[in-house]
């Protein structure tokens, strides 16, 4: 009997890429596949999306895995490198590097080889995480253009902090901070994440950087991917491993946080926080058995959850349970757990086998 698995629909991934291209016609697409492709499986996802113009990862190890899997496309290392050994490795892997702080400028200036890189200069226009502040931009740009081995390509990127906010005012503010810096430079620019791609064409610039939308999910908490023509790529499904009848008054799970108010039929399902299911889904997250929604009752434990299936007399061991996916929007499950779809997807653990279909 197969227990938990994540089925990844590669046709959905490709369809989502087409939707994104239609939203941002003529722009190049950097597919964001960091964090194990948001839980979808790094190499399988990237190979399924081989039509993207580039891929973006956060860690050198992710880039290494992509090259080992045979991906020849441009790979952008979003956080860049932090020492000379990493710089050398990035060169060996032929990576594009983001440069967001002085330490990285100094590494490029002092590297012993005359190797030339494809570089993305990151400007901090309001996220206040990584990047040169607008007043530091000109000096950083000049240092890069004056390297003894000048960049093969030099581009600019910034990251939006509130593209999913309805009024868009902070995004406009970020654009206003960026525009004077790049005006007259004749440089390619990248700004938009999924929310901006779907809602704010003024951010599209030369390169868009979708993550969540590629996986078919809405970055806006109140909306669903399908409203934008996106298809969820991951269906997380598991199996009923026991069915039990409880008398009224019995408690369920650790801490007894749920108590049966009536004679209750309970399905025990092979899925827990060991698989990445967040504990905040306890007591209330929906799931699907057949076509019916049932609630998670009690706490999520390491390997198991329980569902109240009193209304489903036919449930038996071996039945398939959808935790989220094609039939149940992960956005909705996330809302039930007080979190965002990003966190649920990225949390899917290595224990969960990925089936790419």
Q: Which residues make up the interface to ligand PLP (CB under 6 A)?
A: 32, 78, 159, 193-195, 209-213, 219
Residues labelled as active-site residues: 34, 254
Cα distance between residue 118 and residue 30, in whole Å: 14
CB 49 within 8 A of CB 214: yes
Closer Cβ to ligand PLP, 216 or 286, answer by number: 216
Which has the closest alpha carbon to 329: 267, 236, 240, 238?
A: 236
Closer Cβ to ligand PLP, 305 or 341, answer by number: 341
Closer Cβ to ligand PLP, 17 or 32, answer by number: 32
User: What's the full length of the chain, in residues?
Assistant: 357
Cα distance between residue 332 and residue 77, in whole Å: 32
**295-to-6, 10, 250, 252, 312 alpha-carbon distances in Å:** 20, 29, 17, 13, 12
Exposure b/e, 342-354, CB count within 10 A at least 16 = b: bebbbebeeebeb
Per the structure block, which two tokens stand in for 29? 């697409």
Name the 3-class secondary structure at 114.
coil
CB of 330 to ligand PLP, least distance (A): 13
Per DSSP, what are the bridge partners of residue 286? 295
Closer Cβ to ligand PLP, 81 or 212, answer by number: 212
CB of 211 to ligand PLP, least distance (A): 2
CA 348 to the chain's CA centroid: 11
Exposure b/e, 215-228, CB count within 10 A at least 16 = b: bbbbbbeeebbeeb
Cα distance between residue 332 and residue 323, in whole Å: 11
Helix H or strand E segment including 145:
helix 134-145
CB 294 within 8 A of CB 286: yes
Query: Angle at the Cα of 53 (from 168 to 64), degrees rounded to 5?
Result: 105
Closer Cβ to ligand PLP, 182 or 195, answer by number: 195
CA 95 to the chain's CA centroid: 20
Half-sphere exposure of 354 (CA within 13 A, CB side): 20
Name the 3-class secondary structure at 264.
strand
CB of 314 to ligand PLP, least distance (A): 39
CB of 209 to ligand PLP, least distance (A): 4
Cα distance between residue 210 and residue 84, in whole Å: 30
CB of 19 to ligand PLP, least distance (A): 13
Closer Cβ to ligand PLP, 16 or 239, answer by number: 16
Closer Cβ to ligand PLP, 21 or 209, answer by number: 209
């Amino acid at each position: 009997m197969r227990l938990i698995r994540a089925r990844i629909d590669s046709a959905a991934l490709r369809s989502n890429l087409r939707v994104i291209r239609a939203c941002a016609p003529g722009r190049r697409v950097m597919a964001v596949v960091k964090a194990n492709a948001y839980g979808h499986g790094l190499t399988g996802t990237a190979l399924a999306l081989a039509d993207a113009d580039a891929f973006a990862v956060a860690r050198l190890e992710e880039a290494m895995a992509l090259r080992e899997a045979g991906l020849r496309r441009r790979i952008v290392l979003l956080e860049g490198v932090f020492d000379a050994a990493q710089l050398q490795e990035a060169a060996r892997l032929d990576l594009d590097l983001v440069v967001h702080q002085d330490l990285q400028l100094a590494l490029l200036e002092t590297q012993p080889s005359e190797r030339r890189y494809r570089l993305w200069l990151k400007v901090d226009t309001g996220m206040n995480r990584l990047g040169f502040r607008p007043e530091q931009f000109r000096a950083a740009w000049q240092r890069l253009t004056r390297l003894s081995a000048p960049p093969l390509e030099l581009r600019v990127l910034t990251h939006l902090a509130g593209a999913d906010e309805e009024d868009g005012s902070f995004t406009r503010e970020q654009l206003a901070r960026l525009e004077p810096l790049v005006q007259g430079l004749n440089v390619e620019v990248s700004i938009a994440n999924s929310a901006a791609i779907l809602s704010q064409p003024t951010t599209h610039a030369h390169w868009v950087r979708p993550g969540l939308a590629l996986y078919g999910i809405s970055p806006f908490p109140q909306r669903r991917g399908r409203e934008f023509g996106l298809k969820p790529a991951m269906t997380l499904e598991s199996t009923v491993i026991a069915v039990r009848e409880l008398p009224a008054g019995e408690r369920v799970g650790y801490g007894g946080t749920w108590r049966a108010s009536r004679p209750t039929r309970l399905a025990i399902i092979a899925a827990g926080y060991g698989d990445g299911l967040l504990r905040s889904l306890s007591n209330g997250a929906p799931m699907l058995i057949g076509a019916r929604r049932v609630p998670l009752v009690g706490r999520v434990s390491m390997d198991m959850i329980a569902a109240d299936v009193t209304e489903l007399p036919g449930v038996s061991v071996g039945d398939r349970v959808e935790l989220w996916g094609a039939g149940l929007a992960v956005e909705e499950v996330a809302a039930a757990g007080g979190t965002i779809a990003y966190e649920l997807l990225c949390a899917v653990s290595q224990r969960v086998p990925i089936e790419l279909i």
